[in-house]
Amino acid sequence: MTYLLFSLGLVMLFVGGEGLVRGASSVARHFNFSPMLIGLTIVGFGTSAPELLVSVQAALAGQPGIAIGNVVGSNIANILLILGVSAAIAPLFIPARRLWRDLAFMLAATAIFWAMLSGSEITRLYGAILVLGLLAFLAVAFLYGKIDADEDAPVENQLLAWGFTLGGLVVLVIGARLLVDNAVIIAKTFGVPEAVIGLTIVAVGTSLPELATSVIAALRRQTEIAVGNVIGSNIFNIFSIIGITALITPIPVDPRFAVIDMPVATAVAVGLAVAAILLNGLPRIAGVILLALYGGYLWAMA
């Protein structure tokens, strides 16, 4: 039964990802939003829904290691694994002028989160600050996310487009949950520490919607959705997931996160920003390097 559920979850991930990319692209064209904006918001935030559920549930259950490790590990996986796989499939080239503002928000969110993890607890005040950061990001994203209307674009059924978008998100979340639940149970039976479970199995599992969406977007040459999905997800993970979780209940901090894991997450985020701006995106060789780095990270965590 475990293997059957795993297979079903995998199929649901790719079916949901296909629907989400197709629907989100149509929505972007209808409202004259750039694909990058849709990737940053609807797609990026929507595919991060599993992380939100996992972190809130873990914090309420008295498992702060999973609540924080889930977010830190997801952000690392989003860049090294998801962009690595996507770029290896199809080069992700985007002009730097379309990326610098969003990359700056991602780096700022990462720096703020690292500073908060240097203390003993992420308080409700910290949670409120993070949520305000999310609102500021959304305001800037929508302010600069409009593009000129394409007069030659065909008229598309928006009810169907939103159906694909929202239906794809639901299928993605359910598929990811089927995979994650079984993996966590197996890991616990082998005595894997809680923080490591959060950083690896839970983080990768809850990042599966982003992986499926970005891979399908790359295959369809929807480069901005593939990249925007990851950047938006990383911003949402910190500002919204940690922010909302801390507002519900303060989160005790394991010192290892500030000393071991956040330096890795920060280095990965900075490396992505530098590479994306200097190379105007990520060529295939960059994708291969990101995957190799992720393999090394998992080996070090084992």
The 10s digit of each residue's pLDDT in 83-123 is 999 999 888 888 777 788 889 999 999 999 999 999 889 99
Mean pLDDT of 54-59: 78
Question: In which band, very low, low, confident or very high, does the pLDDT at 202 lie, cut at 50, 70 and 90?
Answer: low
Question: In which band, very low, low, confident or very high, does the pLDDT at 270 lie, cut at 50, 70 and 90?
Answer: very high
Whether 5 shows a pLDDT value over 60: the answer reads yes
Q: Considering the entire predicted model, what is its pTM? A: 0.80
pLDDT score at 125? 95
The 10s digit of each residue's pLDDT in 149-185 is 555 556 567 778 888 878 877 887 787 677 667 666 6
pLDDT score at 274? 92
- Lowest-pLDDT choice from 48-52, 277-281, 283-287: 48-52
**37 contact partners, CB below 8 Å, separation of at least 6:** 28, 141, 142, 145, 228
The 10s digit of each residue's pLDDT in 112-155 is 999 999 988 999 999 999 999 999 998 888 887 666 655 555 65
Residue 76 identity: I
- Lowest-pLDDT choice from 31-45, 218-232, 247-261, 282-296: 31-45
The 10s digit of each residue's pLDDT in 7-50 is 677 677 667 767 776 777 777 777 777 777 777 777 777 767 76
Report the chain's mean pLDDT, rounded to a whole number: 81
Cα-to-chain-centroid distance, residue 204 = 10
Q: Over pLDDT 90: what percentage of the chain?
A: 24
DSSP the chain: -HHHHHHHHHHHHHHHHHHHHHHHHHHHHHHTB-HHHHIIIIIHHHTTHHHHHHHHHHHHTT-HHHHHHHHHHHHHHIIIIIIHHHHHHS-EE--GGGTHHHHHHHHHHHHHHHHHHTSSEE-HHHHHHHHHHHHHHHHHHHHS-B----TTSPP--HHHHHHHHHHHHHHHHHHHHHHHHHHHHHHHHTT--HHHHIIIIIHHHHTHHHHHHHHHHHHTT-HHHHHHHHHHHHHHIIIIIIHHHHHHS-EE--HHIIIIIHHHHHHHHHHHHHHHHHHTEE-HHHHHHHHHHHHHHHHHH-
